[in-house]
Structures are given as structure tokens and as C-alpha cells.
Amino acid sequence: MSLFGLRSAVRSAEPGLLDTFLVAAVGTVLVIRLFLEATGYPRLGGGELHIAHVLWGGLGMLVAFVLLLGFVSSATRHIAALVGGAGFGAFIDEFGKFVTSDNNYFYRPTAAVVYVLFVLLFLVVRQLWRFRQLSPRESLVNAIGLAEDLVAGDLDEYERSRALDLLTHADQSEPLVSILRQRFVGVRIAAAPVSGLHRLRGRGSAMYRRVVTTTAFRRVLFTLFAIEGLVIVLGLIAVTALIAATALGIDVGDATVDVGGGGPFAIAVQFAATFVAGVLIIRGLVAVRHSRLAAYHSFELAIMVDLLLNQPFAFLDQGFGQAFDVLFDLLLLAILRYLKAEEQRLLASGHEAAPLTSGALAARRI
């Protein structure tokens, strides 16, 4: 074992947890800036006291650590990713106060620093799972992790399907593989407890199964993201025109306020992010006819590129008005996460493996 055991580190099979962390962090920065500007930057405390929100950020990260170290369940990890991300966002938002002699919260380079930090985190998270697939050892360790839910009685059909897939990629000579496969195959998935939340989730899943094969669903999905793609294309054209005008020495007046008010660096950032998001939207629109899951994934990446690589910098530079674009991105992201989860449950339950009736055939086509 090398120093601190880093050589034997095992990657998680759930990269979505880190995405949740990043989205929560970005969303928290935006909500804080929006709230402070709307309320005139109130001061919490009295007299000589001022309770800075960096303290609330530390509390959020502490709660996340306690959840991760004190409890063992997949639900706990998702909650910790959300709470920890919100805490990190509240922490990093006050960067300007701690690098300036006059504790300047409005220190202008803060926008660039926060932007670069989120870009690096985003790229590192993506690279962790893209430079190579999970090794057989990592696949087995992640399957063992899902066995925790099996023993606790919290395993659902989708998690069982994931565990069996991980065991397929594990070293088949390892005795644990066959033992775990038998346990996952033989386990009886318990019926969900009858509660308002579970009934609502069940109704949502049933509704998804009913509408997902319809032509109307495909048209609504295609139209929604075609509009999003059109907005992105128009933004790309505006940024391109601004870059061209600047290069030719044409006076664009206040246009830099509307597009890339932070100067050439901000313009370049928004151009790159907008271009990548546009390509991903187009890829998703093409994929929606043959694989809903692939389309959802492509749309989700497009929204995350805009949310993590474009909007934070634009919001910190342009102020209050930018928050509405971000809130729209977060709404789309929440919808896509829900659609992805339902599609994965649909596939795990074997509905796609059924004989190709007219409805099933329509599902395959979209």
C-alpha cells in the first residue's frame, strides 16, 4: 500500500454523486448572490458581530462528513452530496473576503477564480470516469457496496440490475462474485412501504410508462430541447458577432454588458461553453429517435456545461438578471434527472425486453 492508500483507491460507480455536488455548489452561489442583491445585502448579527455565510458553508460540509462517516446507505450518500455541495458553494462565494486586505466581497477577480475552480472540478470529475473503465476489482468493490442495501432491505430492481452488471465485469475467478450473484438474483425485492411519498413515486413511474411510448411525448421532448438549442445558437451568434466586431475595432457600445461583460476572457469562456452545449443538444435531438436514455444523457450534459461552465461566470459578472437563466437550467436538469431515473427503472424492470407490440415498437423507435 502506498502513502495514504491512494494507490489502492477505488472509484465509485456513481459519478452522478459528484455531479449533484457541483450542481448544488453552483446553485448555492447563485441563490446567495440573488438573495443578497434582492435584500440589499443585510447583515446577520448585531453590534460587532457579523455571521458570514462562509460559516454556514462550513456547517453544510460538516453535516455531509457526518452523514458519510456515520451512516451506510445509498440515500445517505445522495443527501451528503447535496448538503456538502451547498456548503461548498456558500464557502467559496466569500473568496473575495479572504484574499483582500479590506475584506472586499465584491473583489472582481472572484468571478474568474470561482469559474476556473468549477471548470477544473467539472473536468476532473469527467476525466475520472473517462480515461478508463472500472477495473474488475473496482467493479467487485462497487457491487459489494450495493450489497449493503441488499442486506439492509433497501435494494430496488434498478440497483439489483446495476449490481449484476458490475459483477459481470468483475474477475470471475473471485469466489465472492458467484456468491454475490446468487444473492442478488435470489433476493426478493420487498414491496415499497405504503406512504404518500411512495404512492406518488409509483404513480409517477406508471404515468411515465404510459406516456413514454406516445408520439406526443417525443414531440414535446424534441420541441423543448429544440427551443433550448435555438436559444443557444442565437447566443453563439451574438457572441461570435461581438468577437468579430471587437477584432475589427468596431465600437459596440453597451453590447459587452449583455454578452460577456467581463471582457475578452468572459467572451471566450461563454463562446466555448455555448458551442459545446449546442453540439450536445444537437446530439441529443438526433439520439432521441433510437435511445431515450442516450438523449437524456446528452441533454443533461448540455445543461451541465451551460450551468457549470457558463452561467456562474455570467451571473457573477452581470448580476441579478442572470439568475432566471440559471433557475431555468436547474428546472430542466431536475426534469432530466427524473426522466433518466424512470427510464433506467423501466429498462431494469424488463419492459423493453417484452414482445414488440405496437407500443413497444414505438418506444424502440424514439
Range with lowest mean pLDDT among 3-12, 35-44, 151-160, 203-212: 3-12
Q: Tell me whether residue 294 is exposed, middle or buried, using C-beta atoms within 10 angstroms of its C-beta: 0 to 12, 13 to 18, 19 or more.
A: middle
Distances (CA, A) of 284 to 161, 243, 295: 25, 28, 4
Predicted pLDDT of residue 365: 36
pLDDT > 80? residue 280: yes
pLDDT digits (tens, 9 = 90+) for 102-131: 888 878 777 767 767 877 787 777 777 666
Number of alpha carbons in the 13 Å side-chain half-sphere of residue 10: 14
Return the top range by mean pLDDT from 25-39, 44-58, 275-289, 322-336: 275-289
Question: Which whole number is the average pLDDT over 7-32?
Answer: 79
Predicted pLDDT of residue 2: 44
Residues of the chain with pLDDT > 90, as a percent, come to 8
Confidence of residue 60 (pLDDT cuts 50, 70, 90): very high
pLDDT > 80? residue 141: yes
Query: Is there a contact between 164 and 131 (Cβ–Cβ < 8 Å)?
Result: no
Predicted pLDDT of residue 199: 64
Closest CA relative to residue 309, chosen from 125, 53, 36, 176? 125
Return the top range by mean pLDDT from 3-7, 65-69, 75-79, 140-144: 65-69
Query: Is there a contact between 143 and 293 (Cβ–Cβ < 8 Å)?
Result: no
pLDDT digits (tens, 9 = 90+) for 78-92: 899 999 999 999 998
d(CA 334, CA 179): 37
Number of CB atoms found within 10 A of residue 84's CB: 24
Q: Supply the Cα-derived Rg of the chain in whole angstroms.
A: 23
Question: Which whole number is the average pLDDT over 138-155?
Answer: 84
pLDDT > 60? residue 356: no
